[in-house]
A and B are shown apart, each in its own frame.
Chain A
């Protein structure tokens, strides 16, 4: 039964990557609003209890905020480690919340393996997303300066 679920646990979390990028470039307020807003949006479109994903992404944001004191988000290694760690924490908190409030989650080695794979993959793509967002920011910033 768990094997059938394997693809479900593989989750590349772009919301956390973008939140980390916003935290680095736009500051805490923008990142927190984005994380909470995305969480609320996911809550509205999912059949889970309202506030589950909003809470999860706020926790993820707080972990990013705290982790940014120990890891340098401007370096590729820092982005990889911090984003990967936060994805892992998010998955663990999600499973804990689901198990406590929604339904019984079968805890197994494969579940944690796929959480780890998700964390590593999200960490790996994080520097690319960071550079894309930076390019977009530079471009839009340039255009707005030209318009002014």
Chain B
């Protein structure tokens, strides 16, 4: 009799147990889904934070590399320097200039040379207490007295459009070849002698011209300027009465 009752009620009990289990599982699943969503949001935020931190570290590594390069260059220069950050560019697109975050308060004066780890960048053309404007050597109004390092031929480097320069007044008899290094001559009394300026990219010798057409690719990458060094030296172009106070 007992076995008969067990045989009849067992399936019912089994059904009830299974139903309870299903409901329990569904209930737990629902809660785990709710938790999962919260956890997913939390993890997503964590991933975003870590990604941001990673970007920050990459930026720090890149800045560190640039500053190390700048420091090495600084050690090769004898005159005292002030490091500055580039904070702006010429808004017109017709002229080539940048703004830096140091001015007369940091000892900057007009016509001081500006360099980066690769070479000459330009010179200061306007200085306010906390900012300064730098005329880049690729501007058409800029002129730097230069030498071809290998042959010591002289020329005046002037800016051209499209981030290139032309070395003017190089005689047709001069020995100039593609790849020759161009350095400052020091004769303009603005840039110290021997600073790297660029490399000869193209030489055109036209028979009816007095001078060779020498195109120079500047050493500095003007599209990626971030930090520069200003060489602290007196403005050679100003008389004592014209000095900036």
Q: Which of B131-161 contact A (CB under 8 A)?
A: 133, 135-136, 139-141, 160-161
Q: Main SS of chain A's interface residues?
A: helix
CB of B97 within 8 A of CB of A47, answer: yes
B-contact 0/1 string along A79-107, CB 8 Å cutoff: 00000000000000010001000111000
Q: Are B141 and A4 closer than 8 Å at their CB atoms?
A: no
Count A interface residues, CB 8 Å.
16
- Distance A42 CA – B92 CA, assembled complex (angstroms): 7
- CB-defined contacts of A98 to chain B, threshold 8 Å: 94
Please indicate the chain B residues that have their CB under 8 angstroms from the CB of A104 in the complex: 140
B179 at the interface (CB under 8 A from A): no
Chain A's nearest CB lies how many Å from the CB of B124? 11
Q: Does B195 contact A (CB under 8 A)?
A: no
Q: Which of A91-140 contact B (CB under 8 A)?
A: 94, 98, 102-104
A48 and B162 in contact (CB under 8 A), knowing A102-B140, A103-B140?
no
Identify A1's interface contact among B88, B97, B162, CB under 8 A.
Answer: B162
- Residues of chain A lying within 8 A (CB to CB) of residue B95: 46-48, 102
With an 8 A cutoff between CB atoms, is B125 at the interface? Answer: yes
Report the bound CA distance from A73 to B95 in whole Å: 33
Contacts of B93 in A (CB 8 A): 8, 11
| Chain B residue with the shortest CB-CB distance to A103 | B140
Tell me which of B90, B160, B162 contacts A46 (CB under 8 A): B90
B135 engages A47 (CB within 8 Å): yes
Contacts of A42 in B (CB 8 A): 91-92
Q: Tell me whether B116 is interfacial, beta carbon within 8 Å.
A: no
A48 to B133, CA, bound (A): 11
Residues in chain B near residue A53, CB distance under 8 A: 92
Task: List chain A residues, Cβ under 8 A from B96.
Answer: 47
Verify if A5 is at the interface (C-beta below 8 Å from B). yes
Asked if B141 and A47 sit within 8 Å, CB to CB, the answer is yes
Q: Is A45 an interface residue (CB 8 A)?
A: yes
Q: Who on chain A is nearest to B89 by CB?
A: A45
Asked whether, in the complex, the Cβ of A5 is within 8 Å of the Cβ of B161, the reply is yes
Min CB gap B205→A, angstroms: 19
- Min C-beta distance of A35 to chain B, whole Å: 16
Mask, A19-63, CB within 8 Å of B = 1, is: 000000000000000000000001001111000010000000000
Closest 10 CB pairs of A and B: A47-B97, A103-B140, A4-B162, A47-B95, A46-B92, A46-B90, A48-B95, A8-B93, A5-B161, A47-B135
List the interface of chain B (C-beta within 8 A of A): 88, 90-97, 99, 125, 133, 135-136, 139-141, 160-162
Residues of A within 8 A of B (CB): 1, 4-5, 8, 11, 42, 45-48, 53, 94, 98, 102-104
Other contacts beyond A4-B161, A8-B94, A46-B94: 18, CB < 8 A:
A1-B160, A1-B161, A1-B162, A4-B162, A8-B161, A45-B91, A45-B99, A46-B95, A47-B97, A47-B135, A47-B136, A47-B139, A48-B94, A53-B92, A94-B94, A102-B94, A102-B140, A103-B140
User: 27 A–B contact pairs at CB < 8 A?
Assistant: A1-B161, A1-B162, A4-B162, A5-B161, A8-B161, A45-B88, A45-B90, A45-B91, A45-B99, A45-B133, A46-B90, A46-B91, A46-B95, A46-B97, A47-B95, A47-B96, A47-B135, A47-B136, A47-B139, A47-B141, A48-B94, A48-B95, A94-B94, A102-B95, A102-B140, A102-B141, A103-B141
